[in-house]
Structure 1
Amino acid sequence: MPVTLGDLLADRGLGLSVAAAGAGLDRPVSWVHSSELADPTPYLDGGELLLTTGLALAGTTAEDYAARLAAHRLAGLGFGTDLGYAQVPPALVRSCAEHGLPLLVVPERTPFLAIAKAVSAALAAESYAQVVRTDQAQRSLTAAAVGRGGAGGVVRRLAELLGGWAAVVDAGDRVRVCAPRTAARRLSGLRPELARVRGRHGATSATTTEGADGAGQVVLHRLRLPGPGVLAVGRPAPFSPVDLQVVGAAVSVLTLLHARATAVGRAERALRTAVLRAMVELPGAGAATIAEPLWGRPPGEGALVLALRGRSGSADELLDALEALDDESLFAAELDGAVVVVADPGLAADALAAAERVPDVRAGMSEPVRGPAPDPFPGHGAGPPAGPLHTAVEQAGRALDAARRLGRARVRFADLAGSGLRDLVPARDAAAFAEALLDPLVRHDARGRGDLVASLREWLAHHGQWDPAAAALGVHRHTLRARIGKAAELLGRDLDSPGVRAELWFALQVPRA
């Protein structure tokens, strides 16, 4: 505890006594300063014990003097007697009492230096005690971490050290550990503050009040768990600077615990990637059997596959969010630059919601995983036939590519068939293809020699039927025959070929700049 005026009065060696404002004797003393100026406040920070022999009163009134010192929030005033004054002037006693400024009497035998040394020694002792307490707390928290308690042991020890409660909340607002058990109830009113701290990057903390009366104090620190989490610590009394250092030590210990877990987590994620690749590329090789004792058996037939990618391209943040779901009905791993999720249909929506907390995430969703389909081209495969999971992963990947290309948050593979071929081709590639293919017709029309582009479009739209197409254009069918013949000549293509017609129809659907 910091040294107070009461502590100085209790020191019999100083011989101090109270002249006024005894109720303020619990005020802490930040320093001791002596001055005989009528207004010493420009040289004071507040919180000091000011010592004077009364010479200052020659240039001001006792009322003004006491008012100035009280307004500057001094801890108190010490008046040395038997030098300029035999006793403290009654007017000064009254003024200090009226303004609530503690007034101490310093006898002649006590030099001002002795009071300054006493306060300095007390402050040094307090500073040393703070260092010792912080060091002991850090040792205690470290001991709790290296034992079997883990993060739970650290949180319980922190609550004991501060005489309050503590809890660790993960990215999904779930309480990972808390002490005491009732601490979880205190977090319901802190959801907005938890979200704000969790949403910031880097080392972030915040202090807020607890309860409707605002009597309690809560300190929040951002943690990476995996996923952005928060350490919340609260108690009825305000936290001192030393208390906040203890909380900081707990944050450091919890961070080191996470770093140790992260090394294991990286190895586990690499193993999950290897298992998923084997499940996709080597169907029937038993990869799911390897996964079962570690993470539970991966979902099989009827499951959905998601392919996810965030703005940064890093898989860690997405995997953090998905692992926070902690559900065996979900298998997630990084595969070829994307995060691939195999989940039961009921959990796929939860996985999407968790992933979409990552900024600018894009998602592709497959059709449900089905049994192996017959090979439509038997004898043409270079390797073993693709399994149903391989097909679903490819579907999800194609849907993800479409989502990124079209700027959509999510795309289902089933939606691609209804969106048309044009949406499956990058816009720049489609435009370049259409421009190169139709360029001879466009240049011909630009010279005013006919309307070959519109005629070709109408002819293809009527499946090569001359009369309906000519009627739609308002020309004779012989005129249309001549135009299509000219188009075939300029293009150097056989317009009776279905493939050529398909390419031309696609090119004609691409919007032109």
Structure 2
Amino acid sequence: MSISLHDLARSLGLPVLAGDVSRPVGWVHGTELADPTPFLEGGELLLTTGLNALTPGYVERLVRAGVVGLGFGTGLGHDVVPAELVRQAGESGLGLVEVPREVPFIAISKAVSKALAADEYAALTRTSEAQRALTRAAVRGGVAGVVRRLGQWINGWVVLFDAAGEPVHAHNARQVPELREELARLGTSGGLASAAFATDDWHVFLQALGSRARGVLAVGTTEPLDADLNIVNTAASLLTLALAQNDAVDAAHRELRNGQFRLLLNGIPVEGLPERFRVFLADDPPDGGFWAEHDGRIVVLAAESDGHASSEVDRTEVARGYREARQAEKAGVRTFEELAGSLKVPEGFAESLLQPLDTETRETLRTWLGHHGAWDPAATELGIHRHTLKNRVRKAENALGKSLDSPGLRAELWLALHREGQ
């Protein structure tokens, strides 16, 4: 913490004469100007021998400029500090100390510089320790570990929001103010990557992580962050890397699931699925279980889930289940069974269409169409060679006098075969 005018005066044996001496000294500057304020930034301790200290409005100008205090040197132009200056300093609250001749002005400057250097070193040491702690937390605890450790270092609350503005990780977040409007503005017009503002109780800092899509880090402290802003920036960088790594892992898992689903569509079983399940077309991925992305859709393999569903299938019948789920979706019904029960088929339609086909051919077509025309899985289910299957399909085409390359004929046959089995 910076040295206050009170502590500075005590360490150097300077008499305190008036005003508020509790404020920290940011710098020391010697001047004899009647109006030095154009050259000041605020927070300074001014040292003077009093050549112009009694100029009208002198004290008021220093106060308006944010001067911390005035050190008045005695033993040169003045043997004592003028009583009028003491009175003005007391009324305005400007800290006033006497600097006897035996205390050189340079000693005061050195004392303040030493204190400021110690503050900077302490801040650098604290930042370095925090960076190491945050890095360890990232390695051991990932995103959640960084959020927790950051909250401990800054002694405030920390929340990591996702792209939708929902909190996903938090530390000491029971008193977090409403941030929806600020989160919505971040990363929009102007391309803001960070924002800082104050509420009645908190100084809040928001930092977008890499891009708005990755999330936003929100930090609240009772005092401005100042030097601890470096700690927050380190945490934001670590969180950005951790989230990017999570995205890469998620992408790899997603591609693996998509590949497994393509195998299932071709009748090749994969591990980790129940014996019997339904194929669902859903709007969003479920919290658990097997799901994949196919043709721009979320496909879920489960006993129960949201979305349009097939009839029950096993691991070798996923292609049929996927087709049934799409048909249920197109018809606007919950399950494929509802679709079959709702179709209005002309009397004698199934009998007329299937009449040329014997029992073996009908069973062959039912299985083959159930696998969406895939040869290998259908042949496997029937227990025959794929060439035998192809011969049976050609036999059906000859009997029907039509090509089964026609989607319309396949749909009619599937419906007729399904109705026949009821």
The alpha-carbon deviation at position 329 of structure 1 amounts to 6.2
- For 1:157 and 1:111, locate their aligned partners in 2 and report how far apart those are by CA, in whole Å: 47
Among 205, 211, 219, the alignment partner of 1:233 is 219
Distance of aligned partners of 1:151 and 1:228 in 2 relative to their CA distance in 1, 3 Å threshold? closer
- For 1:122 and 1:298, locate their aligned partners in 2 and report how far apart those are by CA, in whole Å: 74
Distance of aligned partners of 1:102 and 1:305 in 2 relative to their CA distance in 1, 3 Å threshold? closer
| Contact map agreement 2:25 2:112 (CA 8 A) in 1 | yes
1:179-205 deviation line (CA, Å, top 9, x unaligned): 24xx2x444733333343376897722
* Other-structure match for 1:194: 183
* Other-structure match for 1:2: 2
2:105 corresponds to 1:112: yes
2:172 corresponds to 1:156: no
Residues 414-493 of structure 1 correspond to what in structure 2 (within 5 A)?
none
* Other-structure match for 1:251: 236
Distance of aligned partners of 1:275 and 1:346 in 2 relative to their CA distance in 1, 3 Å threshold? closer
* Other-structure match for 1:75: 68
1:409-446 deviation line (CA, Å, top 9, x unaligned): xxx8559xxxxxxxxxxxxxxxxxxxxxxxxxxxxxxx
2:46 corresponds to 1:50: yes
What is the root-mean-square deviation of aligned Cα atoms in Å?
3.4
- Give the partner amino acid of 2:261: L
| Contact map agreement 1:330 1:347 (CA 8 A) in 2 | no
| Contact map agreement 2:16 2:98 (CA 8 A) in 1 | yes
- For 1:217 and 1:261, locate their aligned partners in 2 and report how far apart those are by CA, in whole Å: 30
SS at match of 1:138: helix
Distance of aligned partners of 1:31 and 1:297 in 2 relative to their CA distance in 1, 3 Å threshold? farther
- For 1:332 and 1:245, locate their aligned partners in 2 and report how far apart those are by CA, in whole Å: 41
Distance of aligned partners of 1:50 and 1:385 in 2 relative to their CA distance in 1, 3 Å threshold? closer
Identical counterparts, % of pairs: 42
- For 2:220 and 2:116, locate their aligned partners in 1 and report how far apart those are by CA, in whole Å: 27
The alpha-carbon deviation at position 156 of structure 1 amounts to 2.0
* Other-structure match for 1:426: none
| Contact map agreement 2:310 2:321 (CA 8 A) in 1 | yes
Among 161, 174, 183, the alignment partner of 1:169 is 161
The alpha-carbon deviation at position 239 of structure 1 amounts to 2.8
Among 93, 108, 126, the alignment partner of 1:133 is 126
- For 2:74 and 2:45, locate their aligned partners in 1 and report how far apart those are by CA, in whole Å: 16
- For 1:81 and 1:196, locate their aligned partners in 2 and report how far apart those are by CA, in whole Å: 57
- Give the partner amino acid of 2:236: V
SS at match of 1:233: strand
- Give the partner amino acid of 2:227: V
2:9 corresponds to 1:31: no
* Other-structure match for 2:281: 304
- For 1:110 and 1:56, locate their aligned partners in 2 and report how far apart those are by CA, in whole Å: 21
Among 197, 206, 209, the alignment partner of 1:220 is 206
The alpha-carbon deviation at position 340 of structure 1 amounts to 2.5
* Other-structure match for 2:320: 387
SS at match of 2:66: coil
- Give the partner amino acid of 2:297: V
| Contact map agreement 1:96 1:102 (CA 8 A) in 2 | yes
2:269 corresponds to 1:286: yes
- For 1:188 and 1:127, locate their aligned partners in 2 and report how far apart those are by CA, in whole Å: 32
- For 1:99 and 1:158, locate their aligned partners in 2 and report how far apart those are by CA, in whole Å: 41
The alpha-carbon deviation at position 227 of structure 1 amounts to 4.7
SS at match of 1:238: coil
| Contact map agreement 1:81 1:108 (CA 8 A) in 2 | yes
| Contact map agreement 1:170 1:225 (CA 8 A) in 2 | no
The alpha-carbon deviation at position 161 of structure 1 amounts to 1.3
1:251-292 deviation line (CA, Å, top 9, x unaligned): 122222223323322321221221233334x1x3224x45x4
* Other-structure match for 2:15: 17
- For 1:299 and 1:222, locate their aligned partners in 2 and report how far apart those are by CA, in whole Å: 42
Distance of aligned partners of 1:249 and 1:203 in 2 relative to their CA distance in 1, 3 Å threshold? farther
Structure 2 residues not aligned, in runs of 5+: 333-422
* Other-structure match for 1:331: 291
- For 1:266 and 1:203, locate their aligned partners in 2 and report how far apart those are by CA, in whole Å: 28
* TM-score normalised by the chain length of structure 1: 0.56
The alpha-carbon deviation at position 297 of structure 1 amounts to 9.9
Among 198, 207, 213, the alignment partner of 2:196 is 207
| Contact map agreement 1:197 1:222 (CA 8 A) in 2 | yes
Distance of aligned partners of 1:221 and 1:36 in 2 relative to their CA distance in 1, 3 Å threshold? same
Which range moved further: 169-178 or 88-97? 169-178
* Other-structure match for 1:340: 297
| Contact map agreement 2:186 2:192 (CA 8 A) in 1 | no
1:281-321 deviation line (CA, Å, top 9, x unaligned): x1x3224x45x4xxx999734x2256xxxxxxxxxxxxxxx
* Other-structure match for 1:319: none
Distance of aligned partners of 1:73 and 1:297 in 2 relative to their CA distance in 1, 3 Å threshold? farther
- For 1:385 and 1:197, locate their aligned partners in 2 and report how far apart those are by CA, in whole Å: 44
| Contact map agreement 2:146 2:239 (CA 8 A) in 1 | yes
1:74-115 deviation line (CA, Å, top 9, x unaligned): 111111001101111111111111111111111101111111
The alpha-carbon deviation at position 3 of structure 1 amounts to 2.1
1:318-374 deviation line (CA, Å, top 9, x unaligned): xxxx56xx62367243x5xx64312589745xxxxxxxxxxxxxxxxxx754689xx
- Give the partner amino acid of 1:140: A
- For 1:201 and 1:340, locate their aligned partners in 2 and report how far apart those are by CA, in whole Å: 35
Residues 494-505 of structure 1 correspond to what in structure 2 (within 5 A)?
none
* TM-score normalised by the chain length of structure 2: 0.67
1:155-188 deviation line (CA, Å, top 9, x unaligned): 22222212222232333554333224xx2x4447
- For 1:369 and 1:198, locate their aligned partners in 2 and report how far apart those are by CA, in whole Å: 43
- For 1:157 and 1:193, locate their aligned partners in 2 and report how far apart those are by CA, in whole Å: 24
- For 2:191 and 2:287, locate their aligned partners in 1 and report how far apart those are by CA, in whole Å: 28
| Contact map agreement 2:187 2:208 (CA 8 A) in 1 | yes
- Give the partner amino acid of 1:52: T
| Contact map agreement 2:27 2:45 (CA 8 A) in 1 | yes
SS at match of 1:276: helix
Distance of aligned partners of 1:164 and 1:298 in 2 relative to their CA distance in 1, 3 Å threshold? farther
Distance of aligned partners of 1:83 and 1:45 in 2 relative to their CA distance in 1, 3 Å threshold? same
- For 2:165 and 2:42, locate their aligned partners in 1 and report how far apart those are by CA, in whole Å: 43
- Give the partner amino acid of 2:105: F
The alpha-carbon deviation at position 66 of structure 1 amounts to 0.6
The alpha-carbon deviation at position 233 of structure 1 amounts to 2.3
| Contact map agreement 1:298 1:329 (CA 8 A) in 2 | no
